[in-house]
Amino acid sequence: MREASKKSVDLTRKLIENQQKLTEPKQETLGERLTREAYERYMARFPKPAPYYPLGESKMNKSGTLGDPGADWGKTLLPVDEPASNPGGGGQVHSAWRSYVAIGDSFTEGLDDRRDDGTPRGWADRVAERLALDVPDFRYANLAVRGKWLDQIVADQIPVAEQLRPDLITFSAGGNDIIRPRCSPDAVAERFDAALGRVMAIGADVVVFAGFDTRRVPVLSRIRGRIATFNELLRMIADKHGCRLVDLWAMEPLSDPRSWGRDRLHLTTDGHRRVALRTLEVLGVPVTEDWREPLSAEVPRPWQYRRQEDLSWARDYLVPFLKDWARGRQTGEGYAPKHTELLPYAQALPGATPRTS
């Protein structure tokens, strides 16, 4: 009898505890909060529908006088146009920017796209070359350093940008965090959100970048889901802050392994050229080439050749990367930014000439 009573008490206690868990307010995750905020911002773009009045009835307007019952009929229910917050879109033609600062890692530094003297060029320099065509006294700074993680970019580069206060900023960070063996896309996105808030506070036009689709890139294809998760969070963050977004995932030519260098982490010269064209397109700047142009037909290669390539890549790049990661060493140690001051175009990019693409 006592045993049955004890079981009954335990069961009642568990039911009460479960009920309390159900009624307790749930802690929002970053993804849930961003989704809710994005939905609220989207719905705020629609005007509230006018109240319905039967035909012939009058209504009281805001001033307290009788108004026309049909005065609100026919009001548009289309979203209010917001060209300034057009993440991922084609952008609008902007009055010429007079200064530009590029923030980021090796992607922005321009590795594997080299000038004749061996120094990196990259998509950011290419964007600067095009923008300089419209502004004779155009100034440019590239703060990016290879191998840097998001927190290091925030600590080292954002304070410099805050001092320089340019008209235009490109901000690409988090890629090196995402490819680490152990990484939480939600945690990276939360820190990116805070960092982007600081960048937006500078008052410049800001462009951010969603990650690449790695479905055809050996080994990196294994973290494709992680990259996709981070991208979705990043899109909501860009929408929240009202900045432009370049969707690298949607750039089909970049999913081709031939757009990547031997280390499979950095774009080739052609890949950087296409990213520059897409970035200029998002900014609304006219160019003479199209990033959508397909690559030439791929020549079939025997599977033995592809496997040998994989083994060479693992020996030359993957194993050293994992060793450095285990030791806490980074690829960017000992490297400095290209230039940390807003220099006139000719000084920032010596030997370069303004280009339309």
The model's pLDDT over 121-138, given as tens digits with 9 standing for 90+, comes to: 999 999 999 999 989 899
> What's the mean pLDDT in 11-37?
63
pLDDT at position 101: 98
Domain annotation for the chain: domains and CATH numbers: 99-291+337-348 (3.40.50.1110)
pLDDT at position 145: 94
**For residue 221, pLDDT beyond 50:** yes
Reported confidence tier of residue 267, pLDDT bands at 50, 70, 90: confident
**For residue 308, pLDDT beyond 50:** yes
> How far is 228 from 247, CA to CA, in rounded Å?
11
Token pair 């010596």: residue = 350
pLDDT at position 341: 92
Residue 277: CB partners within 8 Å, gap ≥ 6? 287, 289, 290, 291, 357
Which pair of tokens denotes residue 137?
A: 């006294």
Q: What is the mean pLDDT of the chain?
A: 77
pTM: 0.71
The model's pLDDT over 227-254, given as tens digits with 9 standing for 90+, comes to: 999 999 999 999 999 999 999 999 999 8
Q: DSSP label at 286?
A: -
Lowest-pLDDT choice from 63-67, 269-273, 290-294, 321-325: 63-67
pLDDT at position 291: 94
pLDDT at position 15: 62
User: 275-294 in b/e burial notation, b at 16+ Cβ within 10 A?
Assistant: bbbbbbbbbebebeeebeee
pLDDT at position 325: 60
> How far is 179 from 150, CA to CA, in rounded Å?
12
Residues 120, 109 contacting (CB under 8 angstroms)? yes
Token pair 């030519």: residue = 253
> How far is 208 from 206, CA to CA, in rounded Å?
7
Residues 339, 139 contacting (CB under 8 angstroms)? no
> How far is 109 from 123, CA to CA, in rounded Å?
8
For residues 148 and 345, which has the higher predicted lDDT (pLDDT)? 148
Which pair of tokens denotes residue 331?
A: 């690829």
For residues 285 and 36, which has the higher predicted lDDT (pLDDT)? 285
Reported confidence tier of residue 12, pLDDT bands at 50, 70, 90: low
User: 21-32 in b/e burial notation, b at 16+ Cβ within 10 A?
Assistant: eeeeeeeeebbe
> Over the Cα atoms of the chain, what is R_g?
26
Q: What percent of the chain has pLDDT over 70?
A: 60
Which pair of tokens denotes residue 152?
A: 């290091």
Beta bridge partner(s), residue 227? none
The SS3 of residue 188 is: helix
For residues 285 and 44, which has the higher predicted lDDT (pLDDT)? 285
pLDDT at position 210: 95
The model's pLDDT over 57-116, given as tens digits with 9 standing for 90+, comes to: 444 444 444 344 333 333 333 333 333 344 444 445 455 899 999 999 999 998 878 888
> What's the mean pLDDT in 277-290?
95
> How far is 250 from 288, CA to CA, in rounded Å?
21
Phi, psi values for residue 30, rounded to 5°: -60, -45
pLDDT at position 180: 82
If we measure between CA atoms, which residue out of 167, 100, 106, 113 comes closest to residue 139? 100
pLDDT at position 43: 59
Residues 150, 173 contacting (CB under 8 angstroms)? yes
Q: DSSP label at 342?
A: E
Residue 16: CB partners within 8 Å, gap ≥ 6? none
DSSP 225-269: HHHHHHHHHHHHHHHHHT-EEEEGGG-GGGGSGGGB-TTSSSB-H
> How far is 145 from 106, CA to CA, in rounded Å?
6
Reported confidence tier of residue 157, pLDDT bands at 50, 70, 90: very high
pLDDT at position 87: 41
**For residue 271, pLDDT beyond 70:** yes
